[in-house]
């Protein structure tokens, strides 16, 4: 199913049905389709459903490894005044998970940058050493 079909489905279904369908898409790994159903619902759904829509969108971002965006969605879902208890609790729990993942991703990115810097330094040292070795032994010029 394409994202376009998901949009058509969104137009035909009630919010509850769309949410159920979106949940199923997430379980099946069809994230584009789930997102296609959920995005229009952020604005159009009843206040009571908005938090659930945001929670699911957070799950889509989490699956994709977009933890900063997922955190935003979870925060919105948890803080939405219309959120029922179970949605708010799930959003808060997922936020903790996303925070952990984001922290790990940031840590890994920092280590990767350090590795890149070490590589650049090694190349610089190698280039300097080659230059020094070459300068040390200039071949005699043809004239002299």
Interface ranges with another protein (CB under 8 A): 1, 24-25, 27-32, 63-65, 107-109, 111-112, 115-116, 118-119, 122-123, 126, 130, 133-134, 136-140
Q: How far is the CB of 66 from another protein (least distance, A)?
A: 8
Give the nearer residue to another protein in terms of CB position, either 14 or 113. Answer: 113
Two tokens, residue 31:
């994230």
Q: How far is the CB of 47 from another protein (least distance, A)?
A: 28
C-alpha closest to that of 69 among 105, 41, 44, 112: 105
Q: How far is the CB of 56 from another protein (least distance, A)?
A: 15
Q: How far is the CB of 16 from another protein (least distance, A)?
A: 17
Give the nearer residue to another protein in terms of CB position, either 48 or 117. Answer: 117
Give the nearer residue to another protein in terms of CB position, either 47 or 65. Answer: 65
- 8 Å CB contact between 85 and 118: no
Helices 31-44 + 15-27 axis angle, to 10 = 150
Which residues contact residue 48 at a Cβ distance below 8 angstroms, ignoring those fewer than 6 apart? 82, 84
Distance in angstroms (rounded) separating the CA atoms of residues 3 and 136: 66
């Amino acid at each position: 199913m394409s994202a376009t079909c998901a949009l058509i489905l969104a137009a035909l279904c009630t919010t509850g049905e769309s949410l159920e369908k979106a949940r199923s898409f997430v379980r099946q790994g069809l994230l584009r389709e789930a997102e296609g159903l959920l995005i229009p619902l952020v604005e159009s759904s009843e206040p009571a459903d908005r938090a659930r829509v945001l929670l699911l969108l957070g799950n889509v971002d989490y699956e994709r490894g977009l933890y900063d965006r997922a955190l935003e969605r979870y925060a919105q879902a948890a803080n939405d005044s219309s959120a029922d208890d179970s949605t708010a609790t799930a959003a808060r729990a997922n936020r903790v998970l996303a925070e952990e993942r984001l922290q790990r991703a940031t840590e890994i990115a920092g280590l990767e940058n350090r590795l890149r810097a070490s590589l650049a330094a090694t190349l610089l040292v190698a280039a300097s050493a080659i230059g020094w070795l070459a300068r040390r032994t200039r071949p005699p010029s043809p004239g002299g």
